[in-house]
Every structure is written in structure tokens, then in C-alpha cells.
A and B are shown apart, each in its own frame.
Chain A
Amino acid sequence: MSITVDLTYDLAKALGFRRFEIEAPATLQDVLRLTRARFEGEDAAFEKLTRVTGFVVNGVLISHARGMDTPLKDKDRVSFLKAAAGG
């Protein structure tokens, strides 16, 4: 099973890449843990980058699904998300 993860821009800059693949994560907690493992900075810095960040699975905000326990399946696309406004 492989999941594609899209990062917010600030997080992507800190990590040095914008998108990566994760093999066999079961839930979003796994995605967050595996993302943290790729981050070389302190916990506090990672927490700051992800604190007010939502998660979207295949376009659906997880708070409208099963939260951080939302199950993942092969070829899902997970995105880190921050609120914005445009026009």
C-alpha cells in the first residue's frame, strides 16, 4: 500500500520536498509520525509548523470523516491544510 502526502508550503520548505510517498501507513497518526521522522529539527519547530493544520484525505477534511483515526487505503492522497482566502 502506498500513500501520497502533499505538504503545506512552509512544511515543505522545512523538509526540503513538497510531496512524498509512504508505504503502508494505517492511519493519519502514522502519516504524522512518519512525516516527523523526516524532519531534522526540534519537536517544537515541527509542532509549530503543524499546529493549526488540518488533514485532508482525497479532498475530504478528516474532521468530516473519522478524525485522526480515518483509515487509509492504497493510493490515497493525504494533504496537510491551512485555512486561506482568495478571490
Chain B
Amino acid sequence: MIKGYAGRVLEVDLATRSFTFKPLDEDIARLYLGGKGYGTRLLYDMTEPGIDPLGPENPLIFATGPLNGSLAPQSNRFAVVCKSPLTGGIGSAACGGSFAYGLKKAGIDILVFRNQSSTPLRLEINGDQDTVDFLDASELWGKGTNATQKALGKGRNHAVIGPAGENLVLYAGIVSDERIAGRTGVGAVMGSKRLKAISVTGTRKLEMEDENKFKDYTKWLRQHFRDHPVLGEKLRRYGTMGIVNTTHARNMIPTHNFKFGHHDDAMNVSGEYLEDHGLVGVKSSCIHCPVACGRDVTLEGVGRIKGPEYETAALLGTNLDIPDLKWVNEWNHLADDLGMDSISLGATLGFAMELKERGMLQSCLTFGESSGVSDMIRDIAHRRGLGSDLADGVKRMSEKYGGKTFAMHVKGLELSAYDPRGSFAQGVEYATTNRGGCHVQGASMYFESTGPLTINPQNLKLKAEIPVVQQNLACAINSMVLCIFTTYGLMPKAVHQMNPNGLLHRTITLLFENSGPFYRLISGLKIMPLLWFEKWLTYITGEKFTSGRLQEIGERIFNLERMYNLREGLTGKDDTLPDRILHESTFPHLQSGHPLDQLLPRYYQIRGWDEYGVPLPRTLARLQVRL
């Protein structure tokens, strides 16, 4: 067995309440690493086209990778893969917390759930004794994710759903500790299986090829992250909400259902505001993470709770015209406890508010007014009244009530909080990412709008190249499985100290902006490990990893996801952006929105796809993507 892997896949049949430990497929591990990549390969192979995402045929796959359990910074994440009930295509989400660590300690790389239980269940997996106990979860059914985890107790690592998952809210998530695998409705799939909770325990040790080198390098890198201006200072001090200043200034913070990119009071939901008003309790992190981007806040009547992330602050704050941390904190807490994705939730509430504003929907929801929102969030989780419609997300809401031109989703997945009219590469990434309109499948905006060295985000240069490289890298990162924030460490400290208005800064960004094919060539070099990702993998597995090999693995995963989507009926026509983004300008100097039609053909060409967005046979052959 390749080092870094536990070497085991645990398959659980929830209908027969039986389980089997199987050996990990080393060929798949070499081609797809683990995490999202391995999970996608399994999903493709295990399922027939056209299955019901909420039916028994849809497997629910929890997948770790070779870096999980290694104590590498930002490495305690797991991926969840299934067919998405929200998009009908590939469903995938990643989550921090401690569950990935627990799985690895239990000697499990991949955990697959087949079929459905007829009654609420919870599972206890003991990796040392190789046992799986199927336990009645009737008493937990209906409880929030906090109460559920509390009832399950400490000493084991848990992944649970809340009422939203139980009631098949199409953007329900799976929670581990205070983190959530939020996107694409993976919690609804877990709910459809009546699987309330999974608890794992074990004491197995991860074997590495060269533990000393790994430890020495990790020690250095941990310090690099601590000293880094973004990872060690900004994120550690302000959390992810520290980016509000940037997105607000650059006209990219969703406001009034993405009608605007700027809100006068946006800074009231910023990390700085949080810090300045004494709302921060303690900074919190996934285990072994030196960044600690999470922070607790105090909520009246509840006590200390997990504070919101940027996405939540924007989509439940400015997007609803309610940039008030008191409410954002409450709604974030509700979303977490009920177990649903706050991005999709905020976008759906914003859409419903615009429907109401236009006289297309009768509801209590109004832009700028907090009354009724808390109750609506509870109604969504329990599918009560109008809440049941909102539980189906923006796309289905627009099919029922109209308003497709301002329905802010891609492929059915609600857009994240970076308005792509101010970040053209991010727009291409939203349009083409296989799971839909999400930002953490590449985070292209870092190179054009939010990072320390940003190219002009509103011309066509490099806007097709960046998403390709970033999506590939993100696929690999989500298969190791690492946090995407590790990529923020790529820009050295010196870059952060440059004057953004100076000649040197301008020269470098101009060179980068015009690098085109050279940029792709450098990214694909298979000479040596350039970054920590490849070094870690080499030290752990003993196999030689280079930046180019990592890009190739990511590209393979991305293409397999693409083939899965094509098989399930999503085509190049779905590689688009909401009409509002394409046609309405939020910048005085631009007549229209995002120029996707000018960028998509080049993106397809770089990908080795035909004009309809279908991977060419030679592309699949080069990448060894078996169909």
C-alpha cells in the first residue's frame, strides 16, 4: 500500500445494516489521490446515469486523502461526494473540523454509504476493532447539529445532519464540530438515507515514507504560515470577514440580490468591526491549523457561538440589505444548527425578497427588514409553508415564481459572494466549475481582485487561463484533502509589502497579465516539486510529485467530473452566468456585465474540449480518464 493511506474502504449498506472493509484501490489513488478525486471516480463507476439523487441508488461517499491525519497545517478536511439533489450533477463539498482526522485514525480512507435505512439511524465505527454499530437515532431525529453532537459526546469524531438534512432541504449540509460541508445538498442525501450521525474512533498511526523530512518541512511551513501577511496576520486577526473591506471597495460584495456590488454600511459586517466591537470571544480552528480563521461571537440568549464567515456575512448581510452583525450572527447560528449552507440560504432569501419587491411573491421577506427572517429560516429547515419552496433553492424558485433573469445561480448552485462583474476570471470559474457557482473551486479572484498582486480584472487577458490552472489545483487540493487557504500562502511576504500604486507592482502585474501560454507552461512543469503540496505528498507517499503532476491529477479529476455532468444531462449550455451578471453593469465605465461569451471558447480550447464543451477523446486519453 502506498504510504499516507490507511489502505481501507469501508462500505456500509444502510438497508441491510451490513458492512464490508475493502482494500483501497491503489490505481485510483495514484490517478486521483483521494478525497474528491477518489470519490468522483467511485461515484462514476458505482452508479447508473439518471438516478434519483435522493433515492437509494445514490451513494454518499466520505473521502479523505493522503495528507489527512498527517498533522500538516490545514489538512483536516474531508470531502463528501454524491449526485447533487440541487444541481443534478456532481455533488461535492469539503469540511474542516475533526472528522477527517477521526476517519484516518480509524484506518479508513473512504467511507461509502449505499441504500437507505427505513428508520433514523446513527453509526458508531470503531476502527481498532473493525466494528460498525447500527444504532437507533429516533431520539436524535429533529435535533439541531449542536445538540446532536453534544448528545453523542466527546472522545469520538462526528459528522451529523440537522433538521434541514432530515427534511431534504436541497442545500442541507453535513456538520463536523463547527464546520460544515455545505454546498450542493450533501446533507439532504444523508437525510434521504435517514442517517443522522456517524461517529468514528481509532488509534491507528499514519505511515509516512520519510517522516523526519515531513516533520522538518512542516515545521518550517507552519512558521511560514504564521508569519504570512494574509494567513498569519489578516486571516488570523480578522477571520475571513476581513475581506469585506476589499470586496466592498472593489464593487464586488453582493448587495440587494446582486443588483449592486457595494453597500454603504458593508463594513458593519467586517472582521474589523467584529474585533473592534468586542464581539470576538476566542479564535477557533480546525485541528492542527495555525491560521485559526474561525472566531466565536456572543449571541444574546445563546452565549458564545461560532461567528460567521465572509460568505455568510455578505449573503445574509449586504445581499439582504441588512448589514447588521447581530442578525448575521443569529442567522448564521440558525443555519449551522439547522444544518444548511448559508451561501445558498442567503442567495435564496435575497431572491425571494426581490420577487416580493417586484410583486411576484407574497411573503414577509423584505429587503432591509430583519423581521420574519429567523422564522423563515426555521420554516425552510422544516419545510413549512413558503419555506418549503425556499428549501428548493433559487433555480427551482425561479421556475415556479418567475424571475429567471435575476435568479443568482449557476447549474442550480447559488453564487458565492464575489460578484464576477468585478472579477472576470472568477466569472469564468463560476460558469464552468462542475459543481456550480462556487468560489472555492479555484478562487481565481485572488489573482485579479482581492490578493496583493492583482491583474486588471476587467479585460480579457489571462481570464480563461487562470480558472483552468486554479480549478485543476483546487481539484488536487480537495483530493489531498487540504484547505484552499493554503494557496494564499503562495504570494511571498515581499509582494505584500509592495506599494500597490508603485511602478514595480504595476510592472509585475502587467507581465503576469500578458504571460498567457507561458503561465500555463510553468504551471505544468514536471521537473520538481515547487510548492509545499508536492513536497508533502512526496515525503508522505514516497512517490515523486511535481507541480505538473499535481496539475495533471487536478485536470483529470476536473474532466471526470465534467464527464459525470455530461452523463447526467448538464452540457455546455449550463456553462453560463445569471442574466443579471451578463447584462447589467455595476461599474460606471462598463456598458454591460460579464463578457463570458468572449472567454468561454478560449477556456474550452485550453481545456482540450470541443466547441460544445465536451472533452475531446484525445484529452481524456492523455489524462487516462476511463469511461
Contact = CB atoms under 8 A, between A and B. Distances in A.
Interface of A: 6, 8-10, 12-13, 18-19, 51-56, 58-64, 67-68, 77, 79-87
B234 A84 contact: yes
A41 B139 CA distance: 62
A51 B603 CA distance: 37
B427 to A, nearest CB: 15
Given A59-B249, A79-B250, A84-B243, 13 more contacts: A9-B272, A52-B498, A54-B501, A60-B250, A63-B509, A81-B249, A81-B500, A82-B245, A83-B229, A83-B454, A85-B230, A86-B309, A86-B311
Given A13-B276, A63-B506, A77-B262, A87 B240 contact: yes
At the interface, is chain A mostly helix, strand, loop or mixed?
Answer: mixed
B105 to A, nearest CB: 26
B505 interface: yes
Contact of B484 (A51, A60, A87): A87
Contact of B488 (A19, A64, A85): A85
Given A18-B267, A63-B500, A85 B422 contact: no
Contacts of B497: 52
A4 B478 CA distance: 42
A77 B450 CA distance: 18
A52 B246 contact: no
Contacts of A13: 276
Interface stretch (B167-175, B332-340, B586-594): B586-594
A51 B229 CA distance: 14
Interface string B260-273: 01101001001011
A48 B20 CA distance: 62
Contacts of B457: 64
Interface string B236-253: 001011111111111110
B440 interface: yes
A2 B570 CA distance: 50
User: Could you say which of A9, A10, A12 has the most chain B C-beta atoms within 10 Å of its C-beta?
Assistant: A9
Interface in B289-315: 293, 309-311
A64 B456 contact: yes
Interface in B205-249: 229-231, 234-235, 238, 240-249
A51 B500 CA distance: 9
Contacts of A12: 267
Given A54-B500, A68-B501, A60 B587 contact: yes
At the interface, is chain B mostly helix, strand, loop or mixed?
Answer: helix
Interface in B437-452: 439-440, 443, 446, 450-452
Contacts of B203: none
B446 A85 contact: yes
User: Could you say which of B229, B246, B249 has the most chain A C-beta atoms within 10 Å of its C-beta?
Assistant: B249
Contacts of A51: 499
B134 interface: no
B544 interface: no
17 contacts: A6-B248, A9-B245, A9-B270, A54-B500, A59-B250, A59-B251, A60-B458, A60-B587, A60-B589, A63-B506, A81-B245, A81-B249, A83-B452, A83-B496, A84-B234, A84-B245, A87-B240
B485 interface: yes
Nearest to A64: B456
A38 to B, nearest CB: 18
Interface string B484-512: 11001000000011111100011001000
A64 B459 CA distance: 10
User: Could you say which of A56, A80, A86 has the most chain B C-beta atoms within 10 Å of its C-beta?
Assistant: A86
B171 to A, nearest CB: 18
B454 A9 contact: no
Contacts of A53: 500
Given A6-B249, A84-B242, A63 B234 contact: no
Interface in B411-430: 422
Contacts of B450: 83-86
